[in-house]
Amino acid sequence: MLGKLSRNLWARRCGTLGLRSCPSVSTWSPLATAFNTKPHTRLNITKNDTGLFGISALTNPEGFYLLKENAIHRTDELIEEATREKRSRKMVEIFDELSDTLCKVADLAEFVRLSHPHVKFLHAAEDACISISGIVEKLNTDRELYRVLKAVVDSGDAFPTNPVDDHVAELFLFDFEQSGIHLEEKLRRRVVHLNECILQLGQRFMAGAITPRVVDKEVLPENIRHFFTRKGDKIEVASLFAESTNAKAREAAFRLFLYPDQRQDQLLTDILAARHELATICGFPTYAHRALKSSTVEKPDTVREFLEILTEGLRPRAEEDFRQMAQMKRQENQMSTELAAWDTPYYTAKLKKELLQVNAKEFAPYFSLGACMEGLNTVTTSLYGIHLENTEMQPGEAWNTDIYKLAVVHESEGTLGYIYCDFFERHGKPNQDCHFTIQGGKRLPDGTYQPPIVVIMLNLQQPRWSGPTLLTPSMVDNLFHEMGHAMHSMLARTEYQHVTGTRCSTDFAEIPSVLMEYFAADPRVLATFARHYQTHEPMPQDMLNRLCASKFLFTASETQLQVFYSALDQAYHGDPAEQGTSTTDTLRQLQERYYGLPYVNATAWQLRFSHLIGYGAKYYSYLVSRAVASSIWHTFFAKDPLSRAQGERYRREFLSFGGGVPSGKLVGDFLQCGVTPQILAKNLIEEVDANSETIRHLTERK
């Protein structure tokens, strides 16, 4: 470990919060010390480089060629085994090894392609991605391979199987059929063509969604031009300026940034048309039906009913949020117009600042990166008996000099897996917080377990010479969210890597990560680690309470906005006959129905909605996963967020299955209730009401 300080724990009771004595650290633990110190490359005199992620072939970029060739050779052997007349094991085991062989190269190469700072490694990884994609395309056209799998799914295997085996085999078959292999050759080729078109059009749409709007400076009034980037006689509008204190600047940015773009609109129209044709060729009524197959909710009708119930419940509550914002706007300027879409982020931030009584940045000294990692360690130790151990890497194991490696160690089961932490911003690195699977966990033939390996990627500022990296409250939320994904990968002890951890439906994969946000919003949990990085003083209790309460501001209107986004996504991927004359016409109609603020003429917000590409017909997953996570939190953890008994139950009965059990059944069994639209909507409405009550009590005390 990098840190040399010994652990010194002492108990501090959380007063009126009702939690049993919980650990609070008076000096930094080795884990906190390590993350409060920038990693550095140790001088390597005697050792040879071990290669990226400890893979000996990857001491240099050419190693990707060897990995690719080995994968091709093993793939050929597995295809021969699957299609021979007599087999010695289950068909699903052969397919999972086939999937694992390809994923080990593809997932690794995709991460290196996106993240490695050296061009030669990046190009070699990209070539490997292309090669593996070619192999997958070849497999997707292997009708004999499809035939033997379908025979097993339809008629049973020659070897005894269990429900998990059958479920995973069906998932493999569905993946096969998404490429149209079960269709006649002409239609199959059309499916391949449509998939390629959707990919290329999506990439162009994504690029256009973040492209700044450039206009002549005369378009803007002179008194607000200074808010924007000037380039000669042009002005660049790169965002919505949502939290600007100037109402005219907010309005101008909103209208210009969201002004309709004909090329972008055509791209979206073509994508939606291609997706619909793809779905209907493959036997689905709409693309939404195709996207929701094997999800937690399973059918678009269920999503639609959920959104309708939620809309009715949210409407009066969101109206109250908007009434408060409108009152704040009038207090600022008696001559101001009605509340508009460009106002809501600004007044939410303003009220949050007033409620917190201090700038959000003043919380950051209590959230050093080391302190936050210690907090995560407290949660995992308390709930699962698992500690996060900073581990020294071998020379050449990391792709950059500022990477940490965590061993995830259970008190009796030993090391479960590894989490690489790529936390700091650097040139060329994707500007998003995310979780990558490098190697999925699975049961090996000799009975041992292939350990999961993942990467958590953040974009934090580098540590300063005078102190550690400090996180804002929203950064803490993001860290806990991504660690929720990572722990799902670590704790899902599945037989098959095809369904390990986050390899499950989107509306299920987000539940563990969203649940971790509840821990980050609980003052009892924050009290275990929020300490000033210089004085080591804990964050005052009142400050903790105000911070946690601030996360609950205007949740009704924010949830209503998410309902509108979800409804729009479902409509775009539903029956074209039920849509408007254009994507903007559809948006206008749905905004009137699902959102409390009116559509702004001559805007096309959907053309900036990049989630339509990566989450096509699945954006509802945010709401469903939050509804389920809310129920899990209130049922198992609200009374005691560090309960070992409840943590063990959550691990054994929920996380351990990964995607190996149909997610709707898994959620229903764990919560002992059906996953119905009524129950899901009820969970979110009750949470909105509880959040409003928390805010009311806090403001009354002020």
pLDDT digits (tens, 9 = 90+) for 581-592: 999 999 999 999
Contacts of 634 (CB under 8 A, 6+ apart): none
What tokens were used for 550?
A: 């601030």
- Point out the least confidently predicted range of 356-370, 563-577, 595-609, 658-672: 356-370
Over the stretch 238-284, which tens digit does the pLDDT of each residue have? Answer: 999 888 889 999 999 999 999 999 999 999 999 999 999 999 999 99
Establish if 407 belongs to a structural domain.
Answer: yes
pLDDT at 20 over 70: no
Confidence of residue 120 (pLDDT cuts 50, 70, 90): very high
Cα 525–530–535 angle (5° rounding)? 155
Over the stretch 435-466, which tens digit does the pLDDT of each residue have? Answer: 999 999 999 999 999 999 999 999 999 888 77
Give the DSSP H/E element, type plus range, for residue 487.
helix 473-491
Q: Which one of 157, 182, 207 terminates a domain?
A: 182
Domains identified in the chain, total number: 2
Establish if 198 belongs to a structural domain.
Answer: no
For residue 202, the model assigns a pLDDT of: 94
Estimate the crossing angle of helix 583-594 against helix 555-572, to 10 degrees.
140
- Point out the least confidently predicted range of 201-215, 231-245, 407-421, 651-665: 231-245
Confidence of residue 353 (pLDDT cuts 50, 70, 90): confident
Say if residue 43 is exposed, middle or buried (CB neighbours under 10 Å; 0-12, 13-18, 19+): exposed
Do β-strands 404-410 and 386-390 pair in parallel, antiparallel, or remain unpaired? antiparallel
Choosing from 482, 510, 517, 687, the catalytic residue is 482
**CA atoms 331, 335, 340, 342: torsion sign:** negative
Establish if 204 belongs to a structural domain.
Answer: no
Amino acid (one-letter) located at 538: P
Contacts of 414 (CB under 8 A, 6+ apart): none
pLDDT at 15 over 60: no
Mean predicted confidence (pLDDT) in 416-422: 97
Q: Which residue has the higher pLDDT, 335 or 164?
A: 164
What SS3 class is residue 691? helix
The Cα diameter of the chain in Å comes to 83
Q: How many other CB atoms are found less than 10 A from the CB of residue 334? A: 7
Of 435, 625, 656, whose CA–CA distance to 518 is shortest?
A: 625
Q: Which residue has the higher pLDDT, 42 or 608?
A: 608
Q: Looking at the DSSP assignment, which residues form a beta bridge with residue 470? A: 368
The phi and psi torsions of 574 (rounded to 5 degrees) equal -100, -150
Establish if 667 belongs to a structural domain.
Answer: yes
Give the total residue count for the chain: 702
CA distances from 333 to 246, 254, 337, 344, 350 (A): 11, 20, 9, 16, 15
Mean predicted confidence (pLDDT) in 373-387: 97
- Domain span at residue 643 reads 364-557+620-701
For residue 42, the model assigns a pLDDT of: 59
Q: What DSSP state is assigned to residue 118?
A: S
Over the stretch 282-291, which tens digit does the pLDDT of each residue have? Answer: 999 999 999 9
Q: Whole-angstrom Cα distance, residue 651 to residue 380?
A: 11
For residue 568, the model assigns a pLDDT of: 98
Establish if 71 belongs to a structural domain.
Answer: yes
The answer to whether 527 and 538 have CB atoms below 8 angstroms apart is yes
For residue 43, the model assigns a pLDDT of: 54
What SS3 class is residue 679? helix
Q: Which residue has the higher pLDDT, 178 or 307?
A: 307
Q: How many other CB atoms are found less than 10 A from the CB of residue 394? A: 16
pLDDT at 25 over 60: no
Q: Which one of 155, 182, 209 terminates a domain?
A: 182
Mean predicted confidence (pLDDT) in 197-202: 94
The answer to whether 590 and 606 have CB atoms below 8 angstroms apart is no
For residue 702, the model assigns a pLDDT of: 60
DSSP per residue, 561-581: HHHHHHHHHHHHTS-GGGS-S
Confidence of residue 16 (pLDDT cuts 50, 70, 90): very low
What SS3 class is residue 639? coil
Establish if 400 belongs to a structural domain.
Answer: yes
Establish if 273 belongs to a structural domain.
Answer: no
Say if residue 13 is exposed, middle or buried (CB neighbours under 10 Å; 0-12, 13-18, 19+): exposed
Amino acid (one-letter) located at 224: I
Over the stretch 677-699, which tens digit does the pLDDT of each residue have? Answer: 999 999 999 999 999 888 887 77
Mean predicted confidence (pLDDT) in 95-118: 95
Say if residue 498 is exposed, middle or buried (CB neighbours under 10 Å; 0-12, 13-18, 19+): buried
For residue 9, the model assigns a pLDDT of: 24
Place of tokens 């840190």: 3
Contacts of 594 (CB under 8 A, 6+ apart): 307, 311, 560, 563, 564, 567
Q: What DSSP state is assigned to residue 403?
A: -
Q: Is 482 a catalytic residue?
A: yes
For residue 178, the model assigns a pLDDT of: 86
pLDDT at 223 over 50: yes
Confidence of residue 7 (pLDDT cuts 50, 70, 90): very low
Contacts of 120 (CB under 8 A, 6+ apart): 61
Q: What DSSP state is assigned to residue 51?
A: -
Give the DSSP H/E element, type plus range, for residue 53.
none
In three state form, how does the secondary structure of 408-433 look? EEECCCEEEEEEEEEEECCCCCCCCC
Range 90-94 contact pairs with CB under 8 angstroms and sequence separation of 24 or more: 90/157, 90/159, 90/161, 90/165, 91/148, 91/149, 91/152, 91/157, 91/169, 92/152, 92/157, 92/161, 92/165, 92/168, 92/169, 92/172, 92/496, 93/496
Of 141, 131, 139, 145, whose CA–CA distance to 70 is shortest?
A: 131
Q: What DSSP state is assigned to residue 633?
A: I
Report the percentage of the chain scoring pLDDT > 70. 94
Q: Whole-angstrom Cα distance, residue 17 to residue 557?
A: 29
pLDDT at 150 over 70: yes
Report the percentage of the chain scoring pLDDT > 90. 79
Over the stretch 514-549, which tens digit does the pLDDT of each residue have? Answer: 999 999 999 999 999 999 999 999 999 988 988 888
User: Mean pLDDT over all residues of the chain?
Assistant: 91
Place of tokens 């959907």: 606
Contacts of 272 (CB under 8 A, 6+ apart): 287, 572, 573, 583
Extended strands (E) in 402-523: 404-410, 414-424, 434-439, 442-443, 449-450, 453-460
The answer to whether 580 and 282 have CB atoms below 8 angstroms apart is no
For residue 360, the model assigns a pLDDT of: 67
What tokens were used for 641?
A: 């967020």
pLDDT at 358 over 80: no
pLDDT at 497 over 80: yes
**CA atoms 347, 352, 358, 361: torsion sign:** negative
The answer to whether 485 and 466 have CB atoms below 8 angstroms apart is no
Q: Whole-angstrom Cα distance, residue 511 to residue 357?
A: 32
The answer to whether 170 and 153 have CB atoms below 8 angstroms apart is yes
What SS3 class is residue 282? coil
Q: Whole-angstrom Cα distance, residue 591 to residue 575?
A: 18
| CA 154 from centre of chain | 35
Q: Which one of 182, 214, 242 terminates a domain?
A: 182
CATH number of the domain enclosing 455: 1.10.1370.40
CA distances from 267 to 205, 568, 617 (A): 6, 17, 17
**pTM of this structure:** 0.92
pLDDT at 325 over 80: yes
Q: Whole-angstrom Cα distance, residue 271 to residue 530?
A: 46
pLDDT at 324 over 80: yes
Establish if 425 belongs to a structural domain.
Answer: yes
